[in-house]
Amino acid sequence: MTAGLILLTAWLVNVAAGAAEYKQFAAAMSTLFGRLVLIGWSFAFFFHLANGIRHLVWDTGRGFEKRQANASAWFVIIAAVLITAGFWTLLS
């Protein structure tokens, strides 16, 4: 998440610097490596979001039994993958 925020800051700096700098940054993010970095960052964000929801449920005192904790862990992983895939499908 921290690396993604640094990338977001770099994007904002390039936007503020002008059209030529932004075009160069956008070209770098359009490469395969750039896309993988952006997809990885969005997966980390959605994983963090889903795990935050899991912790909110735990704050109510539910979901601490081993079977429930394992099920919610799988839910977090599957939700992060599906939301990431849906997000990038919408962007395409």
Please state the rounded mean pLDDT for residues 32-48. 97
Asked if 49 and 5 sit in the same domain, the reply is no
Domain interval for residue 9: 1-30
Q: Are residues 80 and 51 in the same domain?
A: yes
Q: For the chain, how far is it from start to end, CA to CA, in angstroms?
A: 23
Q: Is 76 exposed, middle or buried (0-12, 13-18, 19+ CB in 10 A)?
A: buried
Q: Cβ distance 57 to 63 under 8 Å?
A: yes
**pLDDT of 66 over the 90 cut:** yes
Same domain, 8 and 26: yes
Residues 36 and 69 in one domain: yes
Domain shared by 37 and 14, yes or no = no
Asked if 1 and 12 sit in the same domain, the reply is yes
Q: Find the helix packing angle between 2-17 and 32-59, rounded to 10°.
A: 130
**Residue 89: per-residue pLDDT:** 97
Instruction: Specify whether 64 is located in the same domain as 79.
Output: yes
Q: Reply yes or no on whether the pLDDT at 68 is more than 90.
A: yes
Is the pLDDT at 6 greater than 90, yes or no? yes
pLDDT value of position 43: 98
- pLDDT of 12 reads 97
